[in-house]
């Protein structure tokens, strides 16, 4: 399972595809999606949300806000440096094309 904190300071659970619950064996038959499976999904989601809410109070909101601000700053920097490098290479390529002619 993977857990995240979003920009609203909420804990998010993202189960991996291979994670299963219950007495898992290699010999199974799938229950197709329907009323029964929808009810199971709803109850499992409700149970997970209740667990996440119990731990919500430990999320350091100030730190999370600072980390998101830093993440945005780093993304902008990465974009700016990529743009600068691309512009430089394009200019150098253009210069070398003129020299070849």
Tell me the pLDDT tens digit for each residue of 33-49.
999 999 999 999 999 99
Instruction: Yes or no: say if 15 and 1 are a contact pair by the CB < 8 Å rule.
Output: yes
For the entire predicted model, the pTM comes to 0.67
Q: In whole numbers, what is the pLDDT of the chain averaged over residues?
A: 89
The per-residue pLDDT for 99 is 66
Q: How far apart are CA 48 and CA 28, in angstroms?
A: 24
Pairing type for strands 11-14 and 2-5 reads antiparallel
């Amino acid at each position: 399972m993977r857990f995240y904190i979003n920009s609203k300071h909420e804990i998010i659970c993202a189960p991996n595809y291979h994670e299963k619950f219950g007495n898992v064996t290699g010999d199974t038959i799938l229950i197709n999606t329907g009323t029964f499976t929808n009810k199971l999904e709803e109850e499992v989601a409700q149970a997970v949300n209740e667990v996440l809410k119990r731990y919500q109070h430990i999320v350091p909101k100030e730190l999370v806000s600072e980390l998101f601000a830093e993440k945005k700053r780093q993304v902008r920097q990465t974009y700016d440096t990529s743009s600068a490098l691309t512009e430089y290479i394009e200019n150098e390529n253009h210069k070398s094309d003129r020299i070849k002619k």
